[in-house]
Structure 1
Amino acid sequence: MTPEKELLLKQLTAVQESLLWKVEGLSDDELRRPMTPTGTNLIGIVKHLTGITGGYLCEAFGRDREKPPHEYDEELFFGLDLWATPDESTDELVGAYRRACADGARAIEELDLDTVGTHHTGSEVTLREMILTVLLDTTRHTGHADVVRELTDGRVGSRPGDPMSPDDPEYLRMYRARITGEIDRDTWMTYVRNRPDHDPSA
């Protein structure tokens, strides 16, 4: 692979793995539960990105992809790919996303970045354009999943053991107090500097 292609695939794979981590360890009800006024839910994010990933990285370039039944349903145009119906298994939806990611990765590995394909609107696109489109959309929706997961059970971070997301209720309480102005800068900095894990060289 070229360095550019390797970098694009690495970044896409990382954000896809982050999204999959966001849906681990939750009940079926928690995965389906709408968590915002617009109905954002974790399994809907996964379902949506399955179509985006397979459609843009495989179908657009004449490659076979797994096409789920809901893509033939008129309700798709009214948001059907953003939530799961009662007869859709959440395990199967997550599995379908994993397969779409694997199919997309193979397309990236096997095709040249300048390969020309056809977008579903009929316009010509290159593989490079479609990788960037999928990366952008996946990153955007994984950010939504970050917030939804935190609201669901408090899990934060982009991966297991993420050092940028401390699992420390006291730290989070003080951080929030600094944001809201309940404590001033000096109080906050004194607290941070006196923490056992503080690294003065950081």
Structure 2
Amino acid sequence: MLVVMIDDFAKEYLHSDLREIREEMVRKLDGLSEYDIRRPLTSTGTNLLGLIKHLAVSEAWYFGEVFDRPFPEPVLRWDDLEQRGTDMWATEDESREDIIGRYQRVCAHSDATIAALAIDAPGHVPWWPRPDVKLFNVMVHILTETNRHAGHADILREHLDGAIATNTRPEQDATYWAARRAEIERAAQASTAP
């Protein structure tokens, strides 16, 4: 009985965190132009809309194919080397609404998989070195992956318009951050002084 309670707690804890960070990812696009959500902001082309497109593909694979519960819409194949990386950016024919809508449908499908399966339900990830997994492994992996990309999105959004994560305190305004940056710059310069 205690094991079931712990399993249920762990599953709900991970799922709750995943739902929260998904919402944060979509909010990163709020108030930005079509160009700004699509434009490459790193040397490898990382962009905000591409991160959401990538997360949709990842969740469709992991909470779909891995547990023999395929997402009902076409998804890039994980083993199609020619298509690798195309999930990281939006074509001119893919709208913001298309990509966000698909991500939301994928998330609903993932949520249904999570709700339907026990945390120790077996799955198979053919592209992992140890392919036999449990739902727990996949939940941790997707939560980690989504948080990693949320960090990228934080930096990209700050670069675009200075907007920062929603978990900052009200007193942390532009003046606060300018002073903090100046303090960090002074420390960096002082570290190289003879």
Q: TM-score range by the shorter chain?
A: 0.7 to 0.9
1:11 to 12, 17, 34: 17
**Counterpart of 1:175?**
180
Q: Which amino acid letter does the alignment assign opposite residue 76 of structure 1?
A: Q
- What aligned pairs does 1:32-181 form with structure 2 within 5 A after superposition? 32-68=38-74, 70-71=76-77, 75-77=82-84, 79-121=85-127, 123-157=131-165, 159=166, 162-164=167-169, 166=171, 168-181=173-186
* Superposition TM-score, scaled by structure 2 size: 0.83
Which letter maps to 2:64?
Answer: C
Contact kept in structure 1, 2:8 and 2:119, CA below 8 Å = no
Q: Distance in 2 between matches of 1:96 and 1:166?
A: 37
Give the count of matched residue pairs: 178
Change (3 A) 1:119 1:70: closer
Counting aligned pairs with the same residue, the percent is: 37
Q: Which runs of 5 or more structure 2 residues have no equivalent in the other structure?
A: 1-6, 188-194
User: 1:41 Cα shift?
Assistant: 0.3
Q: What's the C-alpha RMSD, in Å, of the aligned pairs? A: 2.1
Where has structure 1 moved over 6 Å in runs of 4 or more?
A: none
Q: Which runs of 5+ in 1 are unaligned?
A: 183-202
TM-score of the superposed pair, with normalisation by structure 1: 0.80
